[in-house]
Amino acid sequence: MKARIPGAPQGGGNMMKKIQEMQENMTKIQQEVEATEFSSTVGGGAVEVVVNGAHEVTAVNLKPEVVDPDDIEMLQDLIISAFNESIRKANDAMEQGMEKAKGGLSIPGLF
CATH of the domain at 41: 3.30.1310.10
For helices 12-35 and 72-102, the axis angle rounded to 10 degrees is 160
75 occurs within a structural domain: yes
The type of residue at 90 is: A
Measured distance CA(46)–CA(73) in Å, rounded: 15
For 64, residues 6+ apart whose C-beta sits below 8 A from its C-beta are none
Q: What is the pLDDT of residues 45-74, one digit of tens each?
A: 999 999 999 999 999 999 999 999 999 999
Range of the domain at 58: 28-92
**Which pLDDT value is given to residue 10?**
56
Query: For 9-18, 55-64, 101-110, which range has the lowest pLDDT when averaged over its residues?
Result: 101-110
Looking at the structure of the chain, the number of domains it has is: 1
**Which pLDDT value is given to residue 68?**
92
16 occurs within a structural domain: no
34 occurs within a structural domain: yes
81 occurs within a structural domain: yes
Q: Using the 8-state DSSP alphabet, how is residue 55 labeled?
A: S
Does 11 have pLDDT greater than 80?
A: no
Residue 59: other Cβ atoms inside 10 A: 11
